[in-house]
Amino acid sequence: MLTRRGIVQGFGLTAALAYPRTVFAAGRNKVVVIGAGIMGASIAYHMAKRGAQVTLLDKTGPAAGTTRNSFAWLNSASKLPKYYFDLNLMGVLGWRRLELEIGPDLPIQWGGCVEWGPATLEQAARRRAAMVERQNWGYPVHEIDATEVRQLLPGAVTDNMGFADFCDIEGTIDPVVAANVLVAKAKDHGASAIYPCTVTGLDLGDSGVTAVQTSQGKIEADHVVIAAGNDCPRIAAMAGFEVPLTESKGILVHSKPMARVLDRVARPPGNDAKQNLDGRVIVEQTFGDTGNSQPDAALGRAYLDHLAQYVPAVRAAEVEFMTLGHRVMPKDGHPIFDRAPKYPNLYVAAQHSGMTCAPISGQLVAMEVLDQVQVDMFAPYRLARFT
């Protein structure tokens, strides 16, 4: 006999929870989502679409924090181990779904990603092995030659190239536009948004959180989701639990709008580059922590000049502004999706790769909260791993 548990587990969910389950009723569940970055915006959208009464709070406004300073490359290729790769791949595919749901208001730039550069025989062999592993996982990446690099990126310099690959599934989006569109669509489904609004406390009872205290007054809630980026630890502490994050800074240079030079993400040695639809070229020099480097015009010029060695058309770019972002980076580098230890209707969502994963993360958080299930894909990301 096929039971409900069997059906749920067939969809990658685990139904058994440690607290009594109540059926979600559209329009009768008041959900407060704290944080209007890309994660909070996606969670609010997916919950509102399900019919929940969503109130979205942010201390400043949509995409005002980490999201604003994100490179926003939608990809999965470098994500390890495989369960983290799978989550990111579902995120990339989730943007395809959102594009169908929302339409042209969500201006995603598909076109893939080209990575190329010098490589010794040993380095090329390692990169080829990694590429084949991703292919075995079903990721559409393949090796290309110098001619193909120049076809995909006209004018690209391929001297002494030792290895190159192309993944056609990847893309990019303006992170500020993306977050604002998702907030707007959440409102179309009945959500309300309040900002500026600072969370000052949580009303806690034996059954869980009952209200959120804010600079705009008290907001009653049946469920609360903390998706406040680097502010998650402060708010979680109000309920007596920790969200362990570590500092990870990233600098981007944003050029003045210019003629089209990049139709896809470009990854020559030492750079990651893209061009937004508004004509601005966005460049970073590393995905690692940028340490004490200062986001000044001189550094921006250095980033652009380095890129110009491989994409000469960028020499014409002028620095418009720099951004210094603080990634939402859990201590082990992997996401956190879980209920508060003592309060089952209080949930926390914090992750790096939030831009890539936002669609699938928002969809699955909505399921965990509204349907009161535990999604197997989130099993590696529970708070218990830190204790």
Q: pLDDT, tens digit, for every residue of 174-218?
A: 999 999 999 999 999 999 999 999 999 999 999 899 999 999 999
User: Is the Cβ–Cβ distance between 186 and 45 less than 8 Å?
Assistant: yes
Regarding whether 134 and 190 lie in a shared domain, the answer is no
Q: Does a structural domain hold residue 82?
A: no
CA 223 vs CA 61, 89, 187, 203, 255: distances in Å: 21, 28, 18, 12, 42
CATH code, domain with 166:
3.30.9.10
**What does the pLDDT read at residue 285?**
83
Strands 113-117 and 163-167 come out as antiparallel
Do 187 and 326 fall into the same domain?
no
Q: Output the six-digit token pair for 344.
A: 């089952």
Residue with tokens 């192309």, as numbered in its chain: 166
Whole-model pTM: value is 0.93
- pLDDT one-digit tens code per residue, 303-319: 999 999 999 999 999 99
Longest dimension (CA), the chain: 69
Query: Which pair of tokens denotes residue 299?
Result: 């550094």
Domain with 296 in it: 110-170+247-330
Q: What share of the chain is helix, strand, coil (3-state, %, to 5)?
A: 35, 25, 40
The residue behind tokens 């303006």 is 174
Short-list 242, 245, 202, 241, CA closest to 34: 202
Query: Does a structural domain hold residue 266?
Result: yes
Is 215 in the same domain as 337? yes
Q: Are residues 240 and 356 in the same domain?
A: yes
Residue 358's H or E segment, with its range, is: helix 354-370
Show the tokens assigned to 88.
């990111």
pLDDT digits (tens, 9 = 90+) for 266-292: 999 999 999 999 999 999 986 667 778
Identify the CA nearest to 32 among candidates 235, 230, 177, 176: 235
